[in-house]
């Protein structure tokens, strides 16, 4: 269907049973973003704002959807949805402060434009990356559903964004879990300069809903009454009968992608056609023809709004530029959390590493009603490593939740669960597969607290590591992908007791934590672990051996290789088990190096760009005067992890480490 020929140029407004006051309210709600944008265009020309994505001509969608939702229902808007923010009555002054990057805006200069959320207004803003907000909406809706709250969550995307994998994963997850998410596609003809025929090949994007087993509709996005009444009906039904609905709003982007980029690539006849369909102009005419709005009243409303906009802009402009304070910046990366130390009373029993993980997780499920586990095959099947075996019998499949194979949407959903007051542990089936959900972890979970104060109360369990003959895609230890990213914590236990206690701490911590569990230790390593619930502190290394000649630093499986080599070489060594990589216990490292004067760092990961490199640099910077030998790093060969036994043995650093340790001792 060619939409432009299937609907009348000037929308037919059907007021249904809406009273005059509501009709006028909808007009005002569209007028405010329109006039605010006109001011922004002026400011842009005067060089007073840096970038602006215009939603002129698309106001009916943002305004109609927002007006149809209840105030405490979450909306996840995109870059052209000023109408969402103004309809939720966010003060214009705060918006101007946000756009100017000032104190009093939502991100205090840390992020720009619409990249912010406001819990008070139940708005969760986008990150630049198109896509992950769709999975976040799934998580928010899931929290409502689990608490049996009749609430809908609305999330926006452009038609360009529907080509992202996140769109497909999010629709699939919402469909399989019957989540009350209203997926709103604003089909405005172009994704930057790319026309729809180069973006997708189905006739209407609404057709995709059917493919995901989802109700879907096409709505004239330039007709405020159609948007408002259709969405109102839909969300009313979704509240009582939770399920996702896809709505494709047909509209057009009248201005350039962003103001500086122009519209040269848009055929003139399209511009002319859609100019005639201006949602504000046509609706005003409808109200005027119906005798609901006179010209004088319209002028009066506009005058009031323009003076409000000017006043609020001037007030924001008078606020000084934000000042840089490094302590403040650093302090806001993580949500402050003082971990309570819970010491076990019951004595230890000799249990396997995998049992310790499982027990820690189980006891956290008992402790936190709001904790949800998500992962592939983790419910009845118990997960591929059986860490959650039996959990679903005790806690139910709502809280021990099998997921479709959608890493990105599920990790995004964990963010949404956190927004909506839940805790989540996501099990990666293998740590390797987190690459399919990398974006939400490093860009959404990691950066939200710093950007606008929204923490991500999420633990991602990472069964990792080699030596198990599993080849390049089931053997990696990919902690360095995450230690690099501010906002994430990284935990990597080597012993059963630590696995249990650190997992409990990670779950209590409201920040995103990657929790690495070496598969090779799961069933081979036993240790004394109390049956009580207990926690162990993040950022405190453990000294596994004490000596005077050399400092050996490692974590995970490396600790066991190091201990073996130290014993074989009869080295008088401090063996430091880091236990957590972020935060890193630098004090323990420096203390030991200053005592021994020699240091060797062992990591299972390939050598270049790993945590060992940073530790070596830190030691060089902070302990140079104490060193009696070069700082040595040992890691795996710079290749993917090979499959065959002999190749994998050669790849892993165990043997090389013993030789390097001997050389260092003799230096």
Ligand X SMILES: Cc1ncc(C[n+]2csc(CCOP(=O)(O)OP(=O)(O)O)c2C)c(N)n1
Contacts with ligand X by CB under 6 A lie at 80, 128-131, 158-161, 186, 188, 190-192, 253, 257
Q: Which residues contact 244 (CB under 8 A, 6 or more apart)?
A: 141, 171, 174, 175, 178, 179, 180, 181, 182, 183, 214, 215, 238
Q: Which residue in the shown chain puts its C-beta closest to ligand X?
A: 158
Token representation of residue 628: 């009696």
Stated length of the chain: 667
- For ligand X, the closer CB: 252 or 515: 252
Rounded-to-integer distance, Cα 318 and Cα 149, Å: 43
Rounded-to-integer distance, Cα 291 and Cα 222, Å: 21
Rounded-to-integer distance, Cα 501 and Cα 506, Å: 9
- For ligand X, the closer CB: 192 or 587: 192
- For ligand X, the closer CB: 131 or 375: 131
In the DSSP assignment, the letter for residue 339 is P
Task: Tell me the pairing of strands 580-582 and 489-491.
Answer: antiparallel
Tell me the backbone φ, ψ of residue 461, rounded to 5 degrees: -85, 130
CB of 234 to ligand X, least distance (A): 22
CB of 437 to ligand X, least distance (A): 14
Is 122 designated active site?
no
Rounded-to-integer distance, Cα 275 and Cα 278, Å: 6
CB of 262 to ligand X, least distance (A): 14
CB of 189 to ligand X, least distance (A): 8
DSSP output for 85-148: HHHTT--HHHHHHHHTT-TTSSSTTSS-TT---BGGGTB-PPPSSSSHHHHHHHHHHHHHHHTT
- For ligand X, the closer CB: 163 or 478: 163
- For ligand X, the closer CB: 253 or 518: 253
Instruction: Please give the C-alpha separations between residue 542 and each of 275, 536, 585, 631, in angstroms, as whole numbers.
Output: 68, 11, 9, 21
CB of 187 to ligand X, least distance (A): 8
CB of 126 to ligand X, least distance (A): 9
Rounded-to-integer distance, Cα 250 and Cα 219, Å: 6
- For ligand X, the closer CB: 199 or 511: 199
CB of 200 to ligand X, least distance (A): 10
Chain centroid offset of residue 183 CA: 18
Chain centroid offset of residue 91 CA: 27
- For ligand X, the closer CB: 157 or 229: 157
The DSSP H or E segment spanning 362 is: helix 353-367
3-state class (DSSP) for residue 640: coil
Q: Which residues contact 415 (CB under 8 A, 6 or more apart)?
A: 132, 135, 136, 139, 440, 444, 445, 448, 456, 458
Do residues 426 and 374 touch, judged by C-beta distance below 8 A? Answer: yes
Burial class for 322, CB neighbours closer than 10 Å (0-12, 13-18, 19+): middle
CB of 446 to ligand X, least distance (A): 16
CB of 159 to ligand X, least distance (A): 5
Token representation of residue 648: 């994998």
Rounded-to-integer distance, Cα 182 and Cα 219, Å: 13
CB of 40 to ligand X, least distance (A): 16
Rounded-to-integer distance, Cα 4 and Cα 274, Å: 9
Rounded-to-integer distance, Cα 498 and Cα 558, Å: 15
- For ligand X, the closer CB: 221 or 467: 221
Catalytic one among 79, 474, 518, 560? 474
- For ligand X, the closer CB: 186 or 359: 186
CB of 439 to ligand X, least distance (A): 8
In the DSSP assignment, the letter for residue 433 is G
CB of 252 to ligand X, least distance (A): 10
- For ligand X, the closer CB: 266 or 400: 266
Rounded-to-integer distance, Cα 416 and Cα 426, Å: 13
275: number of Cβ within 10 Å? 12
- For ligand X, the closer CB: 160 or 496: 160
Q: Which residues pair with 490 in a beta bridge?
A: 514, 582
Residue 270's Cβ-side half-sphere holds a number of Cα atoms within 13 Å equal to 16
- For ligand X, the closer CB: 257 or 474: 257
Instruction: Please give the C-alpha separations between residue 362 and each of 348, 388, 529, 576, in angstroms, as whole numbers.
Output: 17, 8, 15, 29
Active site residues: 474
């Amino acid at each position: 269907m060619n939409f432009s020929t299937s609907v009348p140029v000037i929308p037919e407004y059907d007021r249904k049973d809406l009273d005059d006051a509501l009709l006028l309210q909808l007009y005002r709600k569209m007028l405010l973003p329109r006039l605010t944008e006109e001011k922004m265009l002026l400011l842009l020309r005067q060089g007073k704002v840096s970038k602006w994505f215009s939603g002129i001509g698309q106001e009916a969608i943002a305004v109609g959807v927002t007006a149809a939702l209840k105030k405490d229902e979450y909306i996840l808007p995109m870059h052209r949805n000023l109408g969402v923010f103004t309809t939720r009555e966010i003060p214009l002054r705060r918006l101007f402060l946000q756009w100017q990057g000032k104190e009093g805006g939502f991100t205090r200069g840390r992020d720009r434009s619409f990249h912010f959320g406001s819990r008070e207004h139940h708005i969760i803003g986008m990150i630049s990356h198109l896509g992950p907000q769709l999975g976040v909406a799934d998580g928010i809706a899931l929290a409502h559903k689990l608490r049996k709250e009749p609430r809908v969550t609305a999330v926006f995307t452009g038609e360009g964004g529907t080509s992202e994998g996140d769109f497909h994963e999010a629709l699939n997850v919402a469909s399989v879990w019957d989540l009350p998410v209203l997926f709103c596609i604003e089909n405005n003809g172009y994704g930057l300069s790319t026309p729809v025929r180069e973006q997708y090949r189905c006739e209407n994007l609404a057709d995709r809903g059917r493919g995901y087993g989802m109700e879907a509709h096409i709505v004239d996005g330039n007709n405020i009454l159609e948007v408002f009444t259709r969405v109102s009906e839909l969300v009313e039904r979704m509240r009582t009968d939770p399920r996702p609905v896809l709505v494709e709003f047909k509209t057009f982007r009248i201005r350039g992608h962003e103001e500086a980029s122009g519209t040269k690539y848009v055929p003139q006849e399209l511009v002319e056609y859609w100019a005639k369909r201006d949602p504000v102009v046509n609706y005003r005419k409808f109200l005027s023809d119906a005798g609901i709005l006179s010209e004088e009243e319209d002028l009066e409303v506009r005058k009031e709004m323009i003076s409000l906009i000017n006043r609020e802009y001037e007030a924001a402009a008078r606020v000084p530029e934000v000042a840089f304070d490094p302590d403040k910046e650093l302090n806001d990366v993580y949500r402050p959390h003082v971990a309570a130390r819970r010491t076990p009373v019951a004595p230890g029993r000799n249990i396997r590493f995998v049992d310790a993980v499982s027990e820690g997780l189980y006891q956290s499920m008992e402790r936190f009603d709001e904790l949800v586990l998500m992962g592939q095959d983790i419910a009845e099947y118990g997960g591929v490593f059986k860490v959650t075996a039996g959990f679903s019998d005790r806690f139910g499949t709502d809280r021990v939740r099998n997921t479709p194979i959608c890493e990105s949407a599920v990790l995004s959903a964990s963010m949404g669960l956190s927004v909506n007051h839940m805790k989540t542990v996501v099990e990666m089936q293998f740590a390797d597969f987190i690459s399919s959900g990398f974006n939400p972890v490093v860009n959404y979970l990691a950066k939200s607290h710093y950007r606008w104060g929204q923490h991500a109360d999420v633990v991602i369990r990472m069964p990792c590591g080699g030596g198990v003959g599993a080849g390049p895609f089931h053997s990696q230890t990919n902690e360095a992908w995450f230690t690099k990213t501010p906002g994430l914590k990284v935990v990597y236990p080597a012993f059963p007791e630590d696995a249990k206690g650190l997992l409990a701490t990670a779950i209590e911590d409201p920040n995103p934590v990657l929790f690495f569990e070496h598969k090779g230790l799961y069933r081979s390593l036993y240790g004394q672990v109390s049956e009580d619930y207990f926690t162990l502190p993040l950022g405190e290394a453990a000294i596994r051996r004490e000596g005077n000649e050399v400092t050996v630093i490692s974590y995970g499986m490396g600790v066991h290789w190091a201990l073996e080599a130290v014993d074989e070489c009869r080295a008088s060594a401090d063996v430091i088990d880091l236990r957590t990589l972020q935060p890193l216990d630098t004090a323990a490292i420096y203390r030991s190096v200053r005592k021994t004067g020699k240091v060797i760092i062992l990591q299972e990961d390939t050598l270049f760009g790993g945590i060992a490199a940073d530790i070596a640099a830190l030691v060089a910077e902070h302990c140079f005067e104490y060193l009696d030998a070069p700082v040595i790093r040992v890691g795996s060969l710079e290749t993917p992890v090979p499959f065959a036994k002999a190749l994998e043995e050669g790849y892993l650093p165990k043997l090389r480490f013993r030789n390097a340790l001997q050389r260092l001792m003799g230096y």
